[in-house]
Structure 1
Amino acid sequence: MLPTAAYFEFLPFDHDRSSAAGEESVDFSGIEGAKLYELVVTTHNGLCRYRLGDIVRVVGFHNSSPIIEFVMRGPKSVCEVIETDLMSAMESFQLELRNQMGLEIVEYSSFLETDTSPKQLKVFIEIEKLMFLQEEKLHESVKALKRYCLSLENGLGAAYKGRRYNGDMAPVLVSVVKPGSFDMILQMAIGNGAPASQNKPPKIIRSREIVSFLEVSSLVTIS
């Protein structure tokens, strides 16, 4: 990170709290190696203490300037699933689908529905082959997927499971979407001005437009 590019501050990030609220920010002189921080930037063009939402880890230093690696996008609130927990749970979910059903997840994304009570995490998955959804196999396939969805939910981290136990969260809703759905999301983003080379499907969706599109594209939904 170049100290002349902007004025950077670092908010210590705690996985257990999923937040940096109440923490004092530090500058280059106060950061510590291997710790997680949320980046805050003040630029020459007018941004003042703007929280980027990127969680980074300091992996080294070049002279006094930190070398950082991107870890994840920061959660918007303590009610949101942490991206690293979601990715870890999805890795286990994918492994079970591959080993038990011979299915391969092409892409996935999630959305925390906060307009319902209780809140609900929706996970959208695109699967490489949809033979398992043929009518004669549909009942058994849905039954098997429902069983594996329980293991997905169990892998979402202590904070999420605590909210489920307290009744603040409904069971995870998993939707299998049509092939090519995530490619369509990329085309939507490019159509809205995003550069193709820097765009990829978000693991945690912020846009209602994308959620609505994926809901329409859903072939089967399991909870």
Structure 2
Amino acid sequence: MPTIQEELDRRQLLYSLLMPVMNIYVPGLDKGKALYFLFVKTESTTPGGLPARPVLTSYYNSHHFRHRPFDPYNNYTSPTAAILCPDSHQSMYAQMLSGLLHRLEVLRVGAVFASGLLRAIRFLQLHYRSLAADISDGSLSFDQVSDPSIRSAVAAFLRPDPALADLLIRECGSGDWAGIVTRIWPNTKYLDVIVTGAMAQYIPTLEYYSGGLPMACTMYASSECYFGLNLRPMCRPDEVSYTIMPNMGYFEFIPCDESTAAAPATAVDLTEVEEGKEYELVITTYAGLYRYRVGDILRVTGFHNAAPMFRFVRRKNVLLSIESDKTDEAELQAAVERASKLIEPYGASVVEYTSQAYTKEIPGHYVIYWELMKRGEGERETPGAEILDMCCVETEEALNSVYRQSRVMDRSIGPLEIRVVRPGTFEELMDYAISRGASINQYKVPRCVTFSPIIELLDSRVVSTHFSPRPPTWMPQRHSLT
């Protein structure tokens, strides 16, 4: 997505409004610190020599963030050097250590996405003993963090604290992780995470780890444009609505019933939307996007004065998402077709498939259910576990670069899993759908499933499971102009 320097100024203005709104509902946030797990990703270069990077990486590397003046309402525990380190392990270790050392000052805990906060908790589960050892000794292990700028920044406040180390071992080593956030950071008032859209799947897990802390979704934004604010940030996640700021771009809305009709869709502007109706968002930005269809479906829930408020309903055509990745039906279809070529020499083929974003483990991962068919008796033996493992690899290789970077560099997505189900499973799935009122003439196999009874049906028919034995290939693209 194209961006310009002035766009950072505009986005900084939106950031500056977050805490004044939050302070109405949670006063006193200037009296402590925020433990936010923030990360950058590796940059690349376009053929024309322009830097290409995720929007948040662009912001964190900007002058606005690097040289921001002290703000008591945005006083982070994480040193800037730790946030700007592209090595995700070193960055996470230093940010977690800093958060532990300032634990009694922490008033809010968060990450950009809910998945990012759960990833941090999983990191604590895996590394609390090493963190406790560093806290007890008052020194940062070189095996964990070798980056000189991080070591220098952490050294400014790292002192031996055996009592804190003992508390960490006691709380994390008990095996009981319910309410771990408030047990370690007892003054935490709320979680600051996005839990709308695909991130809603993480709400129960966050409630378990936080002991039921409220979750604040403060703003609505995308790589293309920042849109607006949640003016009631302490509402329940299923009640979150955003008020769009008209100075961030020019916004139009395609009524959903019209966008699927035979006639061309007719867009309306911000002043013409109607309460209760759903729209597809269209934007024209200062950075050069013209009438760009973002792919977000929004529902008008009411008005703040004369400004409409919108609830995020879903991403158009997106099937699977764990973190910042987005996989649509066409991409998943192409990946399955590519992977299934490996089993063709064995006289086998994929007759049906569906998928789910599995988030009961950290990190979450894609699960694809395959029903296989064997052609003839004269072919070679049935494909074995090693071949099906490689099908997982081929599937991942066919997915987009955001997914592969998350797997390789950030490790925020786990290895893809293929679950082979017994023959006839998808007929049973159709029978179940018809028993619930689906039309036999119009039934289509869902390419992604979220309904628990359907997942339970599929899992009860699994005959073998296979995981990708290695990460897919991913390298940042860097082009030479010579």
| TM-based fold match above 0.5 | yes
Query: Counterpart in 2 of 1:69?
Result: none
- Whole-angstrom distance in 2 between the partners of 1:169 and 1:78: 8
**1:37 maps to amino acid:** G
1:144 deviates by 1.6
Query: Counterpart in 1 of 2:314?
Result: 53
| Larger helix proportion of the pair | 2
Contact preservation (8 Å) 1:80, 1:112? no
- Whole-angstrom distance in 1 between the partners of 2:252 and 2:352: 37
**2:335 maps to amino acid:** A
Equivalent position to 1:160, from 403, 412, 420: 403
Query: Counterpart in 2 of 1:200?
Result: 444
Identity over the aligned pairs, expressed in percent?
19
| Larger strand proportion of the pair | 1
**1:217 maps to amino acid:** R
Distance 1:199 1:76, change over 3 A: farther
Distance 1:20 1:202, change over 3 A: farther
Tell me if 1:88 matches 2:339: no
Query: Counterpart in 1 of 2:455?
Result: 211
Q: Structure 1 residue runs of 4+, over 3 Å off?
A: 16-25, 29-42, 48-54, 73-81
**1:94 maps to amino acid:** S
Contact preservation (8 Å) 1:81, 1:156? no
Tell me if 1:149 matches 2:392: yes
- Whole-angstrom distance in 1 between the partners of 2:430 and 2:336: 21
1:89 deviates by 0.9
- Whole-angstrom distance in 2 between the partners of 1:123 and 1:116: 16
Spell out, residue by residue over 1:39-61, the C-alpha distance to the aligned partner (whole angstroms, 9 max, x if none). 4466xxxxx96766363xxxxxx
The DSSP-based 3-state class of the residue aligned with 1:96 is coil
- Whole-angstrom distance in 2 between the partners of 1:76 and 1:150: 18
- Whole-angstrom distance in 1 between the partners of 2:404 and 2:346: 26
Contact preservation (8 Å) 2:369, 2:419? yes
- Whole-angstrom distance in 1 between the partners of 2:438 and 2:221: 29
How does the TM-score come out when normalised to structure 2?
0.33
Equivalences for 1:41-190 in 2 at 5 Å? 53=314, 55=316, 72-73=317-318, 78-79=323-324, 81-83=326-328, 84-98=330-344, 100-129=345-374, 137=381, 141-165=384-408, 166-190=410-434
1:101 deviates by 2.5
1:85 deviates by 2.6
**2:368 maps to amino acid:** V
1:37 deviates by 3.3
1:77 deviates by 6.5
Query: Counterpart in 2 of 1:9?
Result: none
How does the TM-score come out when normalised to structure 1?
0.66
Distance 1:141 1:203, change over 3 A: same
- Whole-angstrom distance in 2 between the partners of 1:79 and 1:90: 21
- Whole-angstrom distance in 2 between the partners of 1:142 and 1:186: 28
- Whole-angstrom distance in 2 between the partners of 1:121 and 1:34: 29
- Whole-angstrom distance in 2 between the partners of 1:177 and 1:170: 21
When the two chains are superposed, the root-mean-square deviation of aligned CA atoms in Å is: 3.4
Aligned residues: 183
Distance 1:152 1:40, change over 3 A: same
- Whole-angstrom distance in 2 between the partners of 1:143 and 1:40: 44
Query: Counterpart in 2 of 1:8?
Result: none
Contact preservation (8 Å) 1:104, 1:128? yes
- Whole-angstrom distance in 2 between the partners of 1:121 and 1:131: 31
Alignment gaps of 5+ in structure 1: 1-15, 43-47, 56-71
- Whole-angstrom distance in 2 between the partners of 1:77 and 1:168: 8
Greater gyration radius = 2
Spell out, residue by residue over 1:4-38, the C-alpha distance to the aligned partner (whole angstroms, 9 max, x if none). xxxxxxxxxxxx99997444751315767895634
Spell out, residue by residue over 1:66-98, the C-alpha distance to the aligned partner (whole angstroms, 9 max, x if none). xxxxxx246567455412332221121123322
Alignment gaps of 5+ in structure 2: 1-53, 56-197, 199-219, 228-243, 245-250, 254-266, 270-281, 283-289, 301-308, 468-482
Distance 1:111 1:128, change over 3 A: same
Distance 1:130 1:175, change over 3 A: farther
